[in-house]
Structure 1
Amino acid sequence: MALYIAIHLAFLGWIIINRLFLPALPKQPELSGRPLVSVLVPMRNEERNVEVLIKSLKNSSYDQMEFILLNDQSTDGTQKELERTIEGDSRFTILQGKELPEGWVGKVHACHQLQQAASGDYLLFVDADVRFRPKAIEQSLALMERKKAHLLTGFPAFDVAPFLSKLLVPMLHFVILFHLPIALANYTKFKAATAANGMWMMFERNSYQKIGGHAAVYNSLVEDVHIAREIKAHGYKVVLANITMSVKCRMYDTNTEVWEGFLKNSYAGIGRSPFLAGVLILFYSTFYILPPFLALYGVFNGLYSWMIPYVLTVIQRWYVDMVTNQRWYLSFLIPLQAAAMLGVLVESMRKSFKKQPYSWKGRHYS
């Protein structure tokens, strides 16, 4: 038990140290110039998100921007809501998405069309369910300038409404701060140490075009990570930042959406490696699902030191939630969060083995 406790203490120390290499957006951004930023938003059946998204865009403090939104063959009221909420604002352009070519992933094709219409020196790809503070775009631009980066990306704070969302979505931050050596990610061109999030990706235009843009990853279900690796492969710099104080996202509204969303990315996100999946299942079962059972055994048998591992997992989770602007009380759910993450990984792997398609927004991907 002493060794088990020591390992959990080491995990906590690693997370705290690793976080030091994750830069935050500057509270007071300073820029040497005023480059044009093209904010590009792919939208497929996003009727419920249009109003709040447009409000965030209109309230942005930076004055050199254009907003280009692509209605990707939506079957709901997305187009009508866009026309109503934009209200003739000349900064906005609405594009109509073309038919999805064979072999392309829908979002990747939408982003490809968006960049073709953009004029900016910087291209900021934003998901429709993202909301942000007025200075968020200016802050991102300032951090890119300070770090001399060609791509800046980050994971927002998450609004987690459905129960399954409370379990799975906050694990995105935990996985980054625990498994990704952020110093390697942000200060080297080492491709394996790369994380990115398609909800918020700001590219310097010339480097984006030189790698081939989104067309370079046309068939990827985890296009954000793969395009970030392409940036590094061409000798450019990627910065993963803590954007949670300025950017927020409500990814899903139902448990079904949560399940389908994670299902399509879970196994693909680890390179469809059965070995790596097995390692993760063993690791999280041993260190994050087992501790509450040990704690219960300890309580009923007077072995109170057996409660320490569970307490340390909660502290690890709490620390991550604290630095990423999440709800602190979700930290007590870490065993259920780990179990849910493994559950979706196993199902995603099963579908891959059986060559069953993943579904998302009415489209199917192998």
Structure 2
Amino acid sequence: MLTLYIILLSCFLLWTIFNSLFLPSLPMVFSIKEKPLVSVLVPMRNEERNVKTIIASMKALSYPHVELIVLNDQSTDRTQELLEQEIAEDSRFHIIQGKELPDGWVGKVHACHQLQQAAHGDYLLFADADIRFHSSSVGQTLSLMQHKKAALLSGFPAFDVPPLLSKLMVPMLHFVVFFHLPIALANYTKMPAATAANGMWMMFERKSYDEIGGHAAVRGSLVEDVHIARRIKASGRKMLLANITKSVRCRMYEKNSEVWEGFLKNSYTGIGKSPLIACGLTVFYALFYMAPLFLAVFGLAKGEVLFILPYLLTVLQQGYVLLKTQQRVLLAFLMPFQAAAMIAVLLAAMWKSWRKKTYSWKGRQYS
């Protein structure tokens, strides 16, 4: 039985490596046809701690044909004041004020909808306020889109993980993509089920975006990034998931409470609120990614080296993902605790959904 267990974990490692081969990276050396106008669009709601870094990133962009639009989504902190201070006299920037949230809309989706209404670009790049990006990132993204003939490119950034809970939960974002998503199907077929996207970094060809109805078409979705990507695919266009971690970083959370609330909002919703999938994932991760730690402890106590191998294989699998995504590789040794944290928040979100409780995010409530 232990031998079979080791074989399965070895297959998981090999699959992760093979699967990653279908995830293109942003090119370090690139060329762009015709240099179209790109609108860089950033929604902000109570983002005073991120204003300085995101505006600095936007100012440093080397791509020449950009317009930079920021939406202050009815912030109650110093976001507006700091925006005016950091932007100063830079004429490339426009600050617009967000309107009241209409019934049936999710806050961020409505903010993105208003941003695109103010944009004039041939391409629309939606980026979150906690993103920091390399000066060439817009050109790199546009170049890869043109080369692959994609109507949408999205990706998960490299993550800074200061609080303890983020060290456990945030690395699982990349792990889930590398392990569970059949990336070849995601990038080379129109299968809706094989789709992953990340609203932190999404660049659309404007014509395609308009023709699928834009963010208005997914107005009530808490996972609007995936749903809008599926609409791109359903229209017959290409959606590309890329490894953007060498050029884009994100510091999502500063407090453990923020980590919990952020993942609580998206985890159960992200699997379609399916209790069957939630229970299946719980059993799977408990068996293959939590249990190896207990086997390793037993092996160390009894001097049985073979019992340590399952844990080392899970560390190698997570370590490979962390290495490919510019993360701290030593966090791979926390894999059993990362799996436990992921399952805990998934079950908590499911329980919350069953009790018809709302999710809280940035001062707004969502069901």
- The bucket for the TM-score relative to the shorter chain is over 0.9
Instruction: Say yes or no: does 1:220 pair with 2:249.
Output: no
Instruction: Say yes or no: does 1:50 pair with 2:35.
Output: no
Looking at structure 2, the residues matched to 311 and 170 of structure 1 have their Cα atoms a distance apart, in angstroms, of 17
Deviations 1:121-174 (Å, cap 9, x if unpaired)?
A: 000000000000100010000000000000000000000000001110110000
- For 1:296, the equivalent position in structure 2 comes to 297
Instruction: Say yes or no: does 1:188 pair with 2:192.
Output: no
Looking at structure 2, the residues matched to 321 and 225 of structure 1 have their Cα atoms a distance apart, in angstroms, of 23
Partner amino acid, structure 2, of 1:321: L
Instruction: Say yes or no: does 1:274 pair with 2:280.
Output: no
Post-superposition offset of 1:28: 1.1
Looking at structure 1, the residues matched to 226 and 163 of structure 2 have their Cα atoms a distance apart, in angstroms, of 26
Deviations 1:81-134 (Å, cap 9, x if unpaired)?
A: 000000121110000000000111000000000000000000000000000010
Structure 2 gaps, min length 5: none
Please list, as runs of the form range in 1=range in 2, the aligned pairs for 1:97-112 lying within 5 A after superposition. 97-112=98-113
- For 1:286, the equivalent position in structure 2 comes to 287
Post-superposition offset of 1:304: 1.4
Aligned with 2:217: secondary structure?
helix
Please list, as runs of the form range in 1=range in 2, the aligned pairs for 1:21-40 lying within 5 A after superposition. 21-40=22-41
Post-superposition offset of 1:271: 0.2
Please list, as runs of the form range in 1=range in 2, the aligned pairs for 1:1-366 lying within 5 A after superposition. 1-366=2-367
Q: How big is the alpha-carbon RMSD for the aligned residues of Structure 1 and Structure 2?
A: 0.5
Post-superposition offset of 1:33: 1.2
Matched pairs, number: 366
Post-superposition offset of 1:315: 0.3
Aligned with 2:293: secondary structure?
helix
Looking at structure 2, the residues matched to 137 and 256 of structure 1 have their Cα atoms a distance apart, in angstroms, of 32
Aligned with 2:295: secondary structure?
helix
Partner amino acid, structure 2, of 1:113: Q
Post-superposition offset of 1:302: 2.5
Looking at structure 1, the residues matched to 335 and 303 of structure 2 have their Cα atoms a distance apart, in angstroms, of 24
Deviations 1:286-315 (Å, cap 9, x if unpaired)?
A: 000000101111121232101000000000
Runs ≥4 in structure 1, deviation > 4 angstroms?
none
Aligned with 2:360: secondary structure?
strand
Looking at structure 2, the residues matched to 305 and 122 of structure 1 have their Cα atoms a distance apart, in angstroms, of 54
Deviations 1:228-253 (Å, cap 9, x if unpaired)?
A: 00100111100000000000000011
Aligned with 1:167: secondary structure?
helix
Deviations 1:14-36 (Å, cap 9, x if unpaired)?
A: 00000000000000111121100
Looking at structure 2, the residues matched to 177 and 298 of structure 1 have their Cα atoms a distance apart, in angstroms, of 29
Post-superposition offset of 1:71: 0.2
Aligned with 1:267: secondary structure?
helix
Deviations 1:305-328 (Å, cap 9, x if unpaired)?
A: 010000000000100000000001
Structure 1 gaps, min length 5: none
Looking at structure 2, the residues matched to 146 and 160 of structure 1 have their Cα atoms a distance apart, in angstroms, of 33
Deviations 1:251-291 (Å, cap 9, x if unpaired)?
A: 01100100000000000000000000010000000000000
Looking at structure 2, the residues matched to 44 and 258 of structure 1 have their Cα atoms a distance apart, in angstroms, of 17
Counting aligned pairs with the same residue, the percent is 65
Moved more, 297-306 or 319-328: 297-306
Looking at structure 2, the residues matched to 138 and 28 of structure 1 have their Cα atoms a distance apart, in angstroms, of 10
Looking at structure 1, the residues matched to 126 and 284 of structure 2 have their Cα atoms a distance apart, in angstroms, of 34
Aligned with 2:150: secondary structure?
coil
Aligned with 2:25: secondary structure?
coil
Partner amino acid, structure 1, of 2:205: E
Aligned with 1:83: secondary structure?
helix
Aligned with 2:105: secondary structure?
coil
Partner amino acid, structure 2, of 1:160: V
Partner amino acid, structure 2, of 1:103: G
Post-superposition offset of 1:183: 0.1
Partner amino acid, structure 2, of 1:192: A
Deviations 1:329-363 (Å, cap 9, x if unpaired)?
A: 10000000000000000000000000000000100
Partner amino acid, structure 1, of 2:172: M
